Structure 1
Amino acid sequence: MSQSSAPMSHIPNPMKKKVLAALMAVVIGHVAVLFAVSHMKTPELKKIEKDPIKVRFVQIKEDAPPPPPPAEPVKPKVQPKPEPKMVKPQPVVKPKVIAEKPKPKVEATKPIVVDDRKEELKKEQERLEQQRQNQERLEQQKREQSQRDQAERERKAQEQAQAERDRLAREQAARNTPRTLSQGQISWVRSPKPSYTNKDLQGSDRVIVVAIEADTSGRVTNVRVTKSSGVPALDQKIVRSVQNAKFKPYKENGVAYPFKAEQPFELKLNSNG
């Protein structure tokens, strides 16, 4: 302390005041700088919205490394002179600007050139295929319609055949059903000739009625007594004579029918005995 104050004592009073004033000014300046730096607000950085960078990796061919440069002589390092330390304000951090890499060029897709001739040929083939399918459907419809018509014709033919069979059956049944005739409606081809004597009549005239059935040809098929003469043996003689007789066929509109009729026989005594 004594040593530092010794030189100052040799400095004149005005000069001492100037040195003190300079030192105070330096100290006050440093204090002011420190105060300003401590109260300085850090600026808020705005968020920068950027599209994500599209990176395309490109394979780079590695070239041969260049030859090393020639060695330079080592120069002695010069020690810089010490500079007085000064308090610097904190640097303002600036936002980093990310450089957007250029987007890779997308090559335009070349339009596909369609051969008009191939397209027309394809359309023509489709048209022919559609025409063929339509023709097949039409032919199938014709075949089905022909089958339906054939089935309908067969059904009608069967109905007509059945109707014809029914008609013939009715006619046959009608022909087989004997017609009931009177004595004036029948005629004999070979009339019955009964043979009897007064003894068979047993002394009196007799009357016998028989029912006769004949077929379509006029042949007698059945004879039965509906009114007896009173003498059974005489009745049997009359029945046998009728069975051996024959009628003319009975016809209606040219169709022969069987018939039945009753035929009376009057048997009288022979005056010659």
Structure 2
Amino acid sequence: MSQSSTATMQTPNPMKKKVIIALVSVLVGHMGVLFAISHMKVSELKKIDKEPLKVRFVQIKEDAPPPPPPPSEPVKPKVQPKPEPKVVEPPPVVKPKIIAEKPKPNIEKPKPVVEQQDNRIEQQRLEQQRQQERLAQQQREQQLREQQQREAERQRQAAEQAERDRLAREQASKPRSLSAGQISWARSPRPSYTNSDLKGSDRSIVVSIEADTNGSITNVRVVRSTGIDALDQKIVRAVRGAKFRPYKENGVAYPFKAEQPFELKLNSNG
């Protein structure tokens, strides 16, 4: 038997299947009817003359299979081509549509009268509180300005006092120029000389004397000489050993300088 006939036997025709299924359904139906009738109560039934069911089998002609290939040529199995791998494309990304919603109109419901009155009272209270805060802020700023002005005035006065003190120190350190009548001796000088020192004639000398705030003599300088150097030095040494009373102005002692003349007379006793 050839391969084609074997394939035909193995694969029944679909039409035969349908016929067999129909016959089986009819038989099952008849059997069911018979089973039901056998269990029904026997009652007198009128005899019905009915021809028996006739079943006719219909033979379906099949298409003749193709002739087998000649024996000289071997039958080559059909090689089915390998299916090409399908490239699965990713599904397209669907961007969600952004639907802009229209803003709903804000319809304010009318507030009750009591609530409106409470709101007015609260607004008045807040306004009074803001006014009080503004006044307090203005007062703080005014106090700060006044404090700054006082501080500036204090600094100005301190600077003026420092300048006055500096000038006073400068004035205090600068000797006052006095005349011989403005000074007084606490311990007058007592120069010691002889007629031989005078060299036979009366002589005079003028010295410039500088003293500090205590009246102590700090410097002696010959302004007009006697003409005898040794005699001048004796007078200077005597003046250095003397002392003045402090010179004061308004209760403040100042250093001073003055020119003091000395008359040197011959001693009649020789």
TM-score range, shorter chain: 0.5 to 0.7
Question: C-alpha displacement at 1:261, in angstroms?
Answer: 1.3
Question: C-alpha displacement at 1:246, in angstroms?
Answer: 0.9
Question: C-alpha displacement at 1:188, in angstroms?
Answer: 0.6
Deviations 1:179-213 (A, max 9, x none): 32222222111001112233433443322110011
Correspondence for 2:160 among 163, 181, 190? 163
Name the aligned partner's letter for residue 152 of structure 1. Q
Correspondence for 1:178 among 171, 175, 178? 175
Deviations 1:203-232 (A, max 9, x none): 433221100112222221211000112222
Partner of 1:215: 212
Deviations 1:234-268 (A, max 9, x none): 21221121111111222333333322211112223
Distance in 2, Cα, partners of 1:180 & 1:155: 39
Distance in 1, Cα, partners of 2:202 & 2:196: 11
Q: 1:195 to 1:137 in 2, by over 3 A?
A: same
Q: 1:202 to 1:125 in 2, by over 3 A?
A: same
Correspondence for 1:244 among 227, 241, 249? 241
Distance in 1, Cα, partners of 2:185 & 2:134: 75
Identity of aligned residues (%): 57
SS at match of 2:204: strand
Partner of 2:262: 265
Question: C-alpha displacement at 1:111, in angstroms?
Answer: 9.5
- For normalisation by structure 1, the TM-score amounts to 0.53
Distance in 1, Cα, partners of 2:108 & 2:226: 129
Correspondence for 2:140 among 143, 153, 160? 143
Partner of 1:225: 222
The alignment of Structure 1 onto Structure 2 pairs a total of residues equal to: 164
Partner of 1:93: none
Correspondence for 2:115 among 113, 118, 124? 118
Question: C-alpha displacement at 1:271, in angstroms?
Answer: 3.8
Distance in 1, Cα, partners of 2:203 & 2:115: 120
Q: How does 1:9-88 map to 2 (within 5 A)?
A: none
Distance in 2, Cα, partners of 1:175 & 1:111: 88
SS at match of 2:260: strand
CA RMSD of aligned residues (A): 2.4
- For normalisation by structure 2, the TM-score amounts to 0.54
SS at match of 1:251: strand
SS at match of 2:233: helix
SS at match of 2:160: helix
Q: Which runs of no fewer than 5 residues in structure 2 stay unpaired?
A: 1-106
Distance in 2, Cα, partners of 1:139 & 1:243: 74
Distance in 2, Cα, partners of 1:171 & 1:162: 14
Partner of 2:52: none
SS at match of 1:265: strand
Correspondence for 1:192 among 186, 189, 193? 189
SS at match of 2:267: coil
Deviations 1:6-56 (A, max 9, x none): xxxxxxxxxxxxxxxxxxxxxxxxxxxxxxxxxxxxxxxxxxxxxxxxxxx
Name the aligned partner's letter for residue 179 of structure 1. R
Q: 1:201 to 1:115 in 2, by over 3 A?
A: same
Deviates more, 1:213-222 or 1:120-129: 120-129
Name the aligned partner's letter for residue 181 of structure 1. L
Distance in 1, Cα, partners of 2:172 & 2:160: 18
